[in-house]
Amino acid sequence: MTTYTVHVSNLSPTTTEQHISDFFTFCGKIESIDFSSDKHTATINFEKPSAAKTALMLNGGTLDGAHLIITSDTVHPDHDEGQAKDVPYEQSDKPRAGIAAEYLARGYTLSDQILERAIDIDQKHGISSRFLSYIQNLDSTIGAKALGPEKTISGKVQETLASATQQARAVDEQKGISKQAGDYYSRALASPFGQKVFSFYTTTSKQIHDIHEEARRIADTHKAAASGAPGAASPPTVPAPGSAGAGITGAEVKTTEAPTVV
């Protein structure tokens, strides 16, 4: 099986293979990690080229206090052109700005330079057609079920923007969006910020402020899920710490012990 490799050097002496796995699984599914604690280096083999490209986006950041040098021997394509378009999206299919927001929401620190890099990649390469199709279909499918034919969740929230909070809650209760919205994205589209969320994940026109706003929404969802709040939807599926490439939902938000990227 073909893998897509990046090399990480200048790791901190305190960095473990677990730290590396926890951090880089936000980029996408990891097939293997070749870690050298003596040389303070690691070679990470990703399943998808887009995951490797996201990892390279983090070059120059810091992990456990050490500045990372992230390189590759080859130029990776942005998406796996050989994969069928009708298969479910994966972590590596998400917009880079969305992945950056997940990092922030989980307690990592990303510099404005890295956020700008994420925005730039999205603008140059666009948003994965699989992820874009998922969000658009979700918006229209749930909208039709909850509001009627040819209705969208984001459109309904936009119509009632003047009294968004009250109206969104009323629509949620009366039309059964809560029952239809099973994941973070469907719940977010049905929120008072639905139009903003829809725009964030379907356009490449973003600012650093937009990433921080989305990170706060994801973090709030993590907190609600952790507290067992009624009707709380799972946060975006992200790789689980300790399981290279495995996906989880509703994970605890990292706070004080999280490695940082600057």
> Can you spell out the DSSP letters for 34-65?
EEETTTTEEEEEESSHHHHHHHHHTTT-EETT
How far apart, in whole angstroms, are the C-alpha atoms of residue 118 and residue 101?
10
Q: What percent of the chain has pLDDT over 90?
A: 44
The CATH number assigned to the domain holding 67 equals 3.30.70.330
Residue 8 is predicted with a pLDDT of 98
Residue 253 is predicted with a pLDDT of 35
Residue 80 is predicted with a pLDDT of 61
Query: Same domain, yes or no, for 8 and 122?
Result: yes
Query: Same domain, yes or no, for 108 and 154?
Result: no
Query: Same domain, yes or no, for 26 and 94?
Result: yes
The answer as to whether 211 is a domain residue is no
Per DSSP, 92 falls in state G
Domain count, the chain: 2
Query: Same domain, yes or no, for 154 and 119?
Result: no
Highest-scoring range by mean pLDDT, 18-27, 162-171, 251-260 = 18-27
The answer as to whether 20 is a domain residue is yes
Residue 170 is predicted with a pLDDT of 54
The answer as to whether 64 is a domain residue is yes
Q: How confident is the model at residue 254 (pLDDT cuts 50, 70, 90)?
A: very low
The region of weakest confidence among 16-30, 227-241, 245-259 is 245-259
Q: Over 90: is that where the pLDDT of 179 sits?
A: no
CB 131 within 8 A of CB 89: yes
Query: Same domain, yes or no, for 150 and 118?
Result: no
User: pLDDT tens, 13-34?
Assistant: 999 999 999 999 999 999 999 9
The region of weakest confidence among 46-50, 87-91, 237-241 is 237-241
Per DSSP, 238 falls in state E
Mean pLDDT taken over the chain: 78
- Average pLDDT, integer, range 93-113: 91
How far apart, in whole angstroms, are the C-alpha atoms of residue 131 and residue 127?
7
The answer as to whether 219 is a domain residue is no
Query: Same domain, yes or no, for 136 and 84?
Result: no
Query: Same domain, yes or no, for 85 and 181?
Result: no
Helices (DSSP H) in the chain: which residue ranges? 17-24, 49-57, 96-105, 112-125, 129-147, 153-159, 164-175, 177-180, 184-189, 194-202, 208-227
Query: Same domain, yes or no, for 243 and 152?
Result: no
The answer as to whether 165 is a domain residue is yes
How far apart, in whole angstroms, are the C-alpha atoms of residue 115 and residue 207?
9
- Average pLDDT, integer, range 83-98: 83
The answer as to whether 231 is a domain residue is no
Q: Measuring CA to CA, which residue among 15, 9, 96 is closest to residue 259?
A: 15
Q: Over 50: is that where the pLDDT of 239 sits?
A: no
Query: Same domain, yes or no, for 40 and 116?
Result: yes
pTM of the model: 0.78
Query: Same domain, yes or no, for 122 and 15?
Result: yes
Task: Give the domain range for residue 190.
Answer: 130-202
Q: What contacts 135, CB < 8 A, 6 or more positions away?
A: 185, 198, 201, 202
User: pLDDT tens, 181-201?
Assistant: 457 888 888 777 888 898 999
- Average pLDDT, integer, range 192-212: 92
Residue 50 is predicted with a pLDDT of 93
The answer as to whether 232 is a domain residue is no
Residue 174 is predicted with a pLDDT of 46
CB 50 within 8 A of CB 80: yes
Q: What contacts 252, CB < 8 A, 6 or more positions away?
A: 222, 226
How far apart, in whole angstroms, are the C-alpha atoms of residue 154 and residue 193?
8
Query: Same domain, yes or no, for 120 and 151?
Result: no
The answer as to whether 122 is a domain residue is yes
Query: Same domain, yes or no, for 169 and 70?
Result: no
Burial 139-155 (b: 16+ CB within 10 A, else e): bbebbebbbeeebbbbb
Q: Higher-confidence residue: 245 or 135?
A: 135
Residue 203 is predicted with a pLDDT of 94
